Amino acid sequence: MTQLFGSIEAGGTKFVCAVGNESYKIIEKVQFPTTTPDETIEKTIAFFKAFETELKGIAIGSFGPIDIDPDSKTYGYVTTTPKANWANVDLLGKIANAFDVPFYFTTDVNSSAYGEALVRKEVDSLVYYTIGTGIGAGAIQDGHFIGGLGHTEAGHTYVKPHPKDLENHFEGVCPFHKGCLEGMASGPSLEARAGMKGELIPEYSEIWDIQAYYIAQAALQATMLYRPQVIVFGGGVMGQAHMLKRVHDTFSELLNGYLPVPDLKEYIVTPAIEGNGSATVGNFALADKISK
């Protein structure tokens, strides 16, 4: 009998649900906007019910913060999110109760990191950042996610402000910290500076140099803290084709020759899995792992 694996990418904007085969190829996929928890979870359950007899396991990669401690009373919950209606929601429990298969529960960026590490055969340490509505990162070392009490929160580290941001008194948009990485470099921060969405800001705008300065600081933090073999940047904002080169140049300046790093074109990269598929592939592999 065929074995199928389930992937739930639970994003703050949309949910992407997919079923894949033993080669982690997508058999069927749906996506829908993240509305109320009840409505969104109901749609998620309905999608997987059609595959119930063949499903071996399901992995959820969720927006956060989430509780990933299996010994905690609130394991599987979305916890302190500012997203309306979603704080303290038992995401895992509400879905898992509807099925008789094992579930793996982690962050969306951990799922993406797992997928990206899987397709890079020579790599066993990798950091994956998403630069989108929020910023987060997942770090992998020898097949394990880095984290102890909870998952890492690399989007909420403080960064050094760009001189232009100081000059313009731009303090950042994070509701918790203002000028953390997410506050200074997420999609909404671009919109707050420019008065228009990131996708509409022209390529010649100096905002991209400001943006690259922060993303390069993220790459520097990842380098110093984890010494990974590869740093992957995904998410909507990285849709700017010119961004990677700016980040390479700025990263070089900030590193200032302190450590040896690989050729930057191989070291600081965009996802190898196309079409925003890193988390889906990662989830299939995590579902496979949990079902063994």
Residues that bind ligand ADP (CB under 6 A): 11-13, 130, 132-134, 187-188, 190, 197-199, 235-237, 239-240
The contacts of residue 147 (CB under 8 Å, 6+ apart) are: 68
Q: Could you tell me if 283 and 8 are in contact, meaning their C-beta atoms sit under 8 angstroms apart?
A: yes
- Report the distance separating Cα 186 and Cα 190, nearest Å: 7
Nearest approach, Cβ of residue 291 and ligand ADP (Å): 27
Residue 229 binds which of ligand ADP, Zn ion, none (CB < 5-8 A, kind-dependent): none
Exposed, middle or buried: residue 265 (CB in 10 Å: 0-12, 13-18, 19+)?
Answer: exposed
Nearer to Zn ion, 180 or 247 (CB): 180
Nearer to ligand ADP, 229 or 250 (CB): 250
- Report the distance separating Cα 222 and Cα 137, nearest Å: 9
What is Dmax (Cα atoms) for the chain? 64
Nearest approach, Cβ of residue 234 and ligand ADP (Å): 7
Nearest approach, Cβ of residue 203 and ligand ADP (Å): 10
Q: Could you give the string, one character per residue 113-152, with x where binding to Zn ion holds by CB under 5 A and - elsewhere?
A: ----------------------------------------
Nearest approach, Cβ of residue 247 and Zn ion (Å): 20
Nearer to Zn ion, 176 or 258 (CB): 176
- Report the distance separating Cα 98 and Cα 48, nearest Å: 10
- Of positions 180, 216, 232, 279, contacts Zn ion by CB under 5 A: 180
Q: Are strands 125-131 and 135-141 parallel, antiparallel or unpaired?
A: antiparallel
3-state secondary structure of 116: helix
Interface stretch with Zn ion, choices 154-162, 199-207, 251-259, 263-271 (CB under 5 A): 154-162
Residue 17 is which amino acid? C
Q: Which residues bind Zn ion (CB under 5 A)?
A: 156, 174, 176-177, 180, 182
